[in-house]
Amino acid sequence: KRILIEKCYDLRKKSHSVVFANGCFDLLHKGHIDLLSAAANLGEYLIVGLNSDSSVRRLKGPDRPIQKQEVRKKNLLKLEFVKDVFIFDEDTPLNLINILKPKFLVKGGDYKSEEIVGYKEVRSWGGVVKTVKLTPGFSTTISINKKRL
């Protein structure tokens, strides 16, 4: 947590606009990449909040995640536009958002802006909450179901 606080202080000192997106990113697919790429284009420094293995299990059920958190983190960091990945164990990234104070908070278009965790907080410091149109036909659930067929 201290590293995250130091990183945020350094980014704000350098006047970098921080973009934050979060999720499980269990099986990284085109839909995830499109979302993160669009998010990265909003600012200078994209930080991804990654649900921990235990958090994914609580949210998605006992058969998830498919991949361990360290593998998911490494896969995300392979994307050139993802600058940092922080794993969080809570069910929501609200604590991370409050530490980061991003200029942009981004989620997929299956959410309404007002429903996004951190909406009120980000707006309170002048930040922007954006939704990105989903890439049709791509989701982790679809990928998992295709593998079972």
121-134: average pLDDT: 95
In this predicted structure, the answer to whether residue 140 has a pLDDT above a threshold of 60 is: no
pTM here is 0.88
User: Cα-Cα-Cα-Cα dihedral of 142, 86, 80, 83, to 10°?
Assistant: 150
Predicted pLDDT at 129: 97
pLDDT confidence tier of residue 149, bands split at 50, 70 and 90: very low
d(Cα 28, Cα 132) in Å, to the nearest integer?
17
Predicted pLDDT at 111: 85
**Amino acid (one-letter) located at 76:** L
pLDDT confidence tier of residue 1, bands split at 50, 70 and 90: low
d(Cα 39, Cα 48) in Å, to the nearest integer?
10
Predicted pLDDT at 91: 94
pLDDT above 90 covers what percent of the chain?
68
Q: How many CB atoms lie within 10 A of CB 102?
A: 29
**Of the listed ranges 23-32, 62-71, 76-85, 131-140, the one predicted with least confidence:** 131-140
d(Cα 122, Cα 26) in Å, to the nearest integer?
26
The answer to whether the Cα torsion of 130, 44, 85, 146 is positive or negative is positive
